[in-house]
Amino acid sequence: MSIVRRRLSPEESRDNALEAARALLIEAGPQAVTLKAVAARIGRTHANVLHHFGSAEGLQRALMANMAETIVATIGEAVGRAHATDHDPHEVVDLTFDAFGREGAGALASWMILSGNEDALDPILIAIRRLVDQLARDHDFDAAALTAETLGLVLTALGDALLGGPMAKALGVPRATARALALRQLTAAQRVIEKAACQDAEREQA
């Protein structure tokens, strides 16, 4: 008895291609994310994948946008948990560094930029901007302070993803030094915010 393979909708086919592209990115780096490689991974033709994305650049942009939404949503949930419980930013730092490093977002962005796609970072920058606005609105955070924290954390994580290993080796420090510095800076920034909030509350009660 033969097994009839269910015909995928265009949305399902596209999602499968993006999942395959993300796996290739993590396994072999951004240079491995090609139409041909993705087609082979999901058992489709090159023409089928080309139809969904238009070009290898289109595939990479779609992958970056997909990763941006997932990464930012995860980080947003972690920020909410940190501020709702013991204010420990450790999880937020780890998620951000892992997203740009281990999950390949930093390498993909740099690869795309070097390939001439100057708008490569747009999807993740837009997603981060939306996250900052949402957190400021939903949790009553200070928008300016939150923006500064986010800027510092993302730039540090992106830099670490691209140069963290060689820099740590050249300077003779542990590989996780940049991550530890980011955690220290974020913790200090949050303490300043908490102190200011307490002072405001005391003034209101006086």
Q: Look up residue 73 and give its two tokens.
A: 């949503």
- H or E element that contains 134: helix 122-138
* Beta carbons within 8 Å of 92's beta carbon, 6+ residues apart: 75, 78, 79, 82, 153, 186
Tell me the C-alpha distance between 205 and 98, whole Å.
43
Which amino acid is it at 88?
D
Tell me the C-alpha distance between 119 and 111, whole Å.
12
pLDDT at 3: 42
Model pTM score: 0.78
pLDDT at 146: 80
Angle of CA points 45, 46, 48, to nearest 5°: 65
Three-state secondary structure call for residue 16 = helix
Cβ neighbour number for residue 19 with a 10 Å cutoff? 15
Per-residue pLDDT of the chain in tens (206 residues, 90 and over written 9) = 444 455 778 788 899 999 999 999 999 999 999 999 999 999 999 999 999 999 988 998 899 999 988 888 888 887 777 666 655 688 889 988 998 999 898 899 888 888 887 777 788 888 888 888 888 887 777 778 788 888 888 889 989 999 999 999 999 999 999 999 999 988 887 776 667 667 767 777 76
